[in-house]
């Protein structure tokens, strides 16, 4: 049964016992009887009672904060001993005059100094309850619960005798000497212990949120107050002879029945109205349930649905999802979506997805899963995080559509495209290779004949003709070199397999190879931490060699080159950067400089043929990546290129390259 939390009230309930006990002790020590009875000439709270109140009150207060409960329990030995000895003395089993241990009672007429049997019995029950009420044994806890209710009744009875002004000699012996403050404090201590188990028996009935408990809570004040008022009036009227006893009792009964019926009638009416509301809500709920289940049926037909907890543990999977995954529902429930991972997506993909979801945002995208029998399948998924009122995510709803067929068609299309592309590439390479090979021969012939001419007729030739021949020879050599470079360009990427390339080691070795020009120009190269990647090693070496050589070469006169090489992890690969402090590149040429033989400067200004960056672009393209330059006109250049994670599967990027 759902119940209230006892809350702070439990903290305060034992405090009046400590306060009342202290007042009692003071009353006895300083002979102020009103401190012990609160009612002039009324029965007194005995010294031992006051003492036990202080001990029990302190125990119940400290027990809520203190850890070493065993130490506290020792306190209860005293309360048990006091109550037991008093009861045994009442039963005349023995007499040790425990009442005179601390103080001698001169006020009380009957049993001076001795607490009433009802008080002693109450202490016995309260001490036992303080020790064992939380016991897991239902019989023990249940018996204590009944005993607690019993002494609650006794204390209430005693309190009512005071409210109704019943003289001590008219009360039953059992509780005739129980003082007014003692009755009140006993009720509070009792409530404090009962609330230790708010889910138990009568306490639960009083505190739960159910209709019956609400009813009893509404009825209780009436039940406690009304009969007392009625009895008070009856006794007063009988005492001043305005009513005789017989008629008084008849009147009491009739008035009680009438008022009780009216009161319960009002409460019942309120409950009936609430019940009507509840029924209306139930009907509305049922109809929205029907709507929901129709909605769910519709979704089950078209979507793959899962609900998972914040740790991605699957709590629900619809039939469609179960069928497509090939697993049984039992296998899926309790596992995470990791069970279905195909290995297609990298860690970064999932990290990005979870970052978005944990931020409370919807994520959508295509995921490749693997069915139980190993067949891969694609789902276009939207994952929606559900948050409670404190913005805590308590579950994820994932709605997906199977797009395997679409993906297959796309892959087929791109593989056909790649095949066509490869064929065209082969044709192109053959053409370039044949053309450049055939072009080399005539060039060599020209150079040979110029050499021959200079050797045989050199002395007879006029100086102008000699100069012309030198120019023709230089141009022919340059032409031959360009043809050779074209040939090299067409061969890039042939017959090489990707390996794991340690970029840091590769660059350190490259620094050695370029030692001559580095020393000559006093260049400084700063290397950051660089990764090991899967790539074509000679290609990566060639890219860095070209970029570093350019960075050293394209400098203002007397400027010492400074080069900074770094790498950054991106979602789809590694992005490398080679930055220099050279002459910079006008942004309007930033894409043209990657064209074959394209140069921004004459041979006199800076030596070169304009094929280095074309080489770099072709190599990066073979990896499925891209290369670009960030440059201000005069502020140095920053060349960047991305080498993707999976260079062998980048069919899409190959397409991009061709476009
Ligand atoms: P080359 O170095 O033989 O001229 P590249 O293809 O390597 O050929 O470069 C093409 C052109 O791009 C160069 O001629 C130069 O104008 C420009 N360039 C390349 N790298 C740099 C750089 N680091 N700083 C300034 N300009 C550069």
Average confidence (pLDDT) over 449-473: 88
pLDDT (0 to 100) of residue 4: 44
Q: Whose CA is nearest to atom 7 of ligand 1?
A: 612
Strand pairing category for 524-527 and 393-402: unpaired
> pLDDT tens digits for 303-329?
999 999 999 999 999 989 999 999 999
Separation CA 334–CA 315 (nearest Å):
7
Q: Given a cut of 70, is residue 530 above it in pLDDT?
A: yes
Task: Write the CA distances from 431 to 71, 144, 425, 441, 487, integer angstroms.
Answer: 98, 102, 10, 16, 10
pLDDT (0 to 100) of residue 2: 41
pLDDT (0 to 100) of residue 111: 66
pLDDT (0 to 100) of residue 495: 63
Average confidence (pLDDT) over 162-187: 86
* Mean pLDDT, all residues of the chain: 87
640 bridge partner residues = 577, 628
Helix (H) or strand (E) holding 272: helix 245-302
- CA angle, corner 618, sides to 613 and 623, nearest 5? 125
Q: Given a cut of 60, is residue 300 above it in pLDDT?
A: yes
Q: Is 608 touching ligand 1 by the criterion CB < 6 Å?
A: yes
Tokens representing 640? 């960047």
Average confidence (pLDDT) over 223-237: 89
> pLDDT tens digits for 614-628?
999 999 988 889 999
Instruction: Pick the range with the lowest mean pLDDT from 27-36, 417-426, 496-505, 606-615.
Output: 417-426
Q: Is 550 touching ligand 1 by the criterion CB < 6 Å?
A: yes
Q: Given a cut of 90, is residue 363 above it in pLDDT?
A: yes
Q: Is 402 touching ligand 1 by the criterion CB < 6 Å?
A: no
Supply φ then ψ for residue 2, to 5 degrees. -70, 135
Q: How far is the CA of 627 from the centre of ligand 1 (A)?
A: 14
Torsion of the alpha carbons at 441, 445, 446 and 450, rounded to the nearest 10: 150
Q: Whose CA is nearest to atom 18 of ligand 1?
A: 550
Instruction: Pick the range with the lowest mean pLDDT from 34-43, 104-113, 247-256.
Output: 104-113
pLDDT (0 to 100) of residue 3: 41
Supply φ then ψ for residue 381, to 5 degrees. -120, 145
Tokens representing 195? 């609330």
pLDDT (0 to 100) of residue 633: 63
Separation CA 583–CA 572 (nearest Å):
32
Separation CA 574–CA 374 (nearest Å):
30
Tokens representing 75? 């306190």
> pLDDT tens digits for 248-296?
899 999 999 999 999 999 988 988 898 899 999 999 999 888 888 888 8
Average confidence (pLDDT) over 141-163: 93
Residue 38 DSSP class: S
Q: How far is the CA of 610 from the centre of ligand 1 (A)?
A: 7
Q: Give the DSSP letter string of 71-112.
A: HHHHHHHHHHHHHHHHHHHHTTS----GGGTT----S-SSST
Q: Give the DSSP letter string of 318-340.
A: -HHHHHHH-S-HHHHTTSBGGGG
More confident residue, 483 or 117: 117
> pLDDT tens digits for 119-141?
999 999 999 998 888 888 999 99
- Atom in ligand 1 nearest the alpha carbon of residue 615: 6
pLDDT (0 to 100) of residue 361: 94
Q: How far is the CA of 556 from the centre of ligand 1 (A)?
A: 14
How far is residue 481 CA from its own chain's centroid?
A: 64
pLDDT (0 to 100) of residue 1: 42
Phi-psi category of 566—alpha, beta or left, where left has phi over 0 and alpha has psi -120 to 50? beta
pLDDT (0 to 100) of residue 194: 92
pLDDT band at 494 (very low <50, low <70, confident <90, very high): low
pLDDT band at 604 (very low <50, low <70, confident <90, very high): confident
Separation CA 508–CA 515 (nearest Å):
11
pLDDT (0 to 100) of residue 107: 65
More confident residue, 426 or 360: 360
Q: Whose CA is nearest to atom 20 of ligand 1?
A: 550
Q: Is 612 touching ligand 1 by the criterion CB < 6 Å?
A: yes
More confident residue, 437 or 412: 412
Q: How far is the CA of 519 from the centre of ligand 1 (A)?
A: 21
pLDDT (0 to 100) of residue 650: 38
Q: Given a cut of 70, is residue 5 above it in pLDDT?
A: no
Length of the chain: 659
Percentage of the chain modeled with pLDDT above 90: 46
308 bridge partner residues = 314, 396
Instruction: Tell me whether residue 331 is exposed, middle or buried, using C-beta atoms within 10 angstroms of its C-beta: 0 to 12, 13 to 18, 19 or more.
Output: middle
pLDDT band at 170 (very low <50, low <70, confident <90, very high): confident
Average confidence (pLDDT) over 539-568: 94
CB 230 within 8 A of CB 252: yes
CB atoms within 10 A of CB 336: 14
Task: Write the CA distances from 572 to 116, 426, 499, integer angstroms.
Answer: 86, 29, 18
Give the helix ranges, DSSP H, for 303-386: 319-325, 329-332, 347-358
Q: Is 478 touching ligand 1 by the criterion CB < 6 Å?
A: no
pLDDT (0 to 100) of residue 123: 94
Residue 28 DSSP class: H
How far is residue 230 CA from its own chain's centroid?
A: 60
368-399 in b/e burial notation, b at 16+ Cβ within 10 A? bbbeeeeeebbbbbebebeeeeeeeeebbebb
Residues sharing a CB contact under 8 Å with residue 529, sequence separation 6 or more, in sequence order: 504, 567
* Max Cα distance, the chain (Å): 167
Instruction: Pick the range with the lowest mean pLDDT from 433-442, 471-480, 636-645.
Output: 433-442
pLDDT (0 to 100) of residue 557: 86
Instruction: Pick the range with the lowest mean pLDDT from 75-79, 430-434, 493-497.
Output: 493-497
Task: Write the CA distances from 241 to 228, 233, 396, 520, 611, integer angstroms.
Answer: 20, 12, 78, 131, 129
Separation CA 267–CA 212 (nearest Å):
12
Mutation test residue for ligand 1: of 542, 585, 639, the one with most atoms within 8 Å of CB: 585
Strand pairing category for 524-527 and 562-570: parallel
Q: How far is the CA of 599 from the centre of ligand 1 (A)?
A: 6
- Atom in ligand 1 nearest the alpha carbon of residue 584: 25
- Atom in ligand 1 nearest the alpha carbon of residue 582: 24
Give the helix ranges, DSSP H, for 383-523: 404-457, 463-491, 503-513, 515-521
Q: Is 630 touching ligand 1 by the criterion CB < 6 Å?
A: no
CB 151 within 8 A of CB 186: yes
pLDDT (0 to 100) of residue 110: 62
Average confidence (pLDDT) over 24-43: 85
């Amino acid at each position: 049964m759902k119940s209230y939390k006892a809350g702070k009230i439990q903290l305060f309930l034992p405090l009046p016992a400590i306060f009342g006990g202290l007042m009692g002790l003071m009353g006895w020590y300083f002979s102020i009887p009103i401190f012990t009875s609160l009612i002039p000439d009324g029965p007194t709270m005995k010294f031992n009672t006051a003492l036990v109140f202080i001990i029990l009150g302190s125990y119940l207060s400290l027990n809520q904060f203190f850890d070493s409960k065993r130490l506290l329990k020792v306190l209860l030995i005293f309360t048990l001993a006091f109550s037991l000895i008093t009861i045994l003395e009442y039963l005349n089993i023995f007499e040790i005059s425990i009442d005179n241990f601390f103080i001698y009672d001169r006020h009380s007429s009957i049993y001076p100094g001795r607490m009433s049997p009802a008080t002693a019995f109450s202490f016995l029950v309260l001490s036992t309850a303080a020790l064992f009420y939380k016991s897991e044994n239902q019989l023990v806890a249940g018996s204590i619960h009944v005993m607690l209710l019993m002494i609650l009744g006794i204390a209430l009875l005693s309190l009512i005798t005071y409210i109704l002004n019943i003289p001590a000699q008219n009360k039953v012996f059992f509780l005739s000497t129980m003082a007014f403050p003692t009755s009140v404090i006993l009720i509070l201590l009792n409530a404090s212990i009962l609330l230790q188990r708010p889910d138990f028996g009568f306490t639960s009935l009083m505190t739960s949120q159910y209709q019956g408990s609400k009813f009893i809570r509404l009825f209780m004040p009436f039940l406690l107050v009304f009969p007392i008022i009625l009895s008070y009036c009856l006794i007063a009227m009988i005492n001043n002879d305005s009513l005789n006893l017989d008629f008084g009792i008849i009147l009491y009964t009739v008035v009680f029945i009438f008022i009780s019926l009216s009161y319960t009638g009002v409460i019942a009416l309120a409950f009936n109205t609430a019940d009507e509301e509840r029924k209306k809500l139930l009907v509305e709920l049922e109809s929205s349930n029907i709507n929901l289940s129709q909605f769910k049926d519709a979704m089950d037909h078209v979507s793959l649905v899962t609900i998972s907890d914040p740790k991605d543990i699957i709590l629900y999977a619809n039939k469609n999802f179960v069928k497509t995954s090939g697993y049984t529902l039992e296998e899926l429930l309790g596992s995470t979506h990791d069970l279905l991972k195909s290995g297609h997506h990298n860690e970064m993909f999932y990290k990005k997805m979870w970052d978005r979801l944990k931020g409370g945002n919807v994520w959508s995208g295509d995921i490749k899963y693997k069915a139980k029998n190993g067949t891969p399948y694609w789902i276009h998924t939207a994952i929606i995080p559900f948050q409670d009122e404190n913005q805590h995510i308590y579950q994820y709803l994932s709605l997906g559509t199977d797009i395997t067929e679409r993906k297959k068609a796309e892959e087929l299309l791109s593989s056909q495209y790649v095949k066509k592309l490869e064929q065209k590439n082969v044709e192109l390479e053959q053409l370039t290779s044949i053309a450049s090979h055939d072009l080399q021969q005539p060039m060599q012939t020209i150079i040979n004949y110029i050499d021959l001419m200079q050797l045989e007729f050199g002395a007879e030739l006029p100086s102008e003709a000699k100069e012309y021949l030198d120019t023709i020879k230089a141009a022919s050599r340059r032409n031959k070199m360009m043809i050779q470079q074209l040939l090299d360009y067409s061969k890039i990427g042939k017959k090489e397999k990707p390996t794991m390339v340690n970029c840091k080691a590769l660059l350190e070795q490259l620094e050695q190879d370029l030692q001559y020009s580095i020393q000559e120009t006093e260049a400084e190269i700063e290397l950051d931490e660089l990764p090991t990647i899967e790539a074509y090693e000679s290609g990566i070496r060639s890219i860095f060699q070209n970029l570093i050589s350019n960075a050293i070469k394209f400098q203002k006169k007397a400027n010492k080159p400074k080069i900074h090489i770094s790498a950054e992890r991106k979602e789809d690969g590694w992005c490398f950067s080679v930055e220099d402090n050279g002459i910079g590149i006008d942004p309007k040429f930033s894409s043209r400089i990657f064209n074959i033989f394209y140069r921004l400067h004459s041979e006199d200004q800076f030596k070169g043929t304009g094929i280095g960056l074309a080489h770099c672009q072709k190599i990066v393209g073979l990896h499925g990546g891209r290369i670009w330059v960030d440059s201000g006109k005069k502020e140095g250049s920053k060349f960047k290129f991305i080498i993707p994670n999976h260079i062998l599967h980048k069919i899409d990027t190959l397409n991009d390259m061709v476009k």
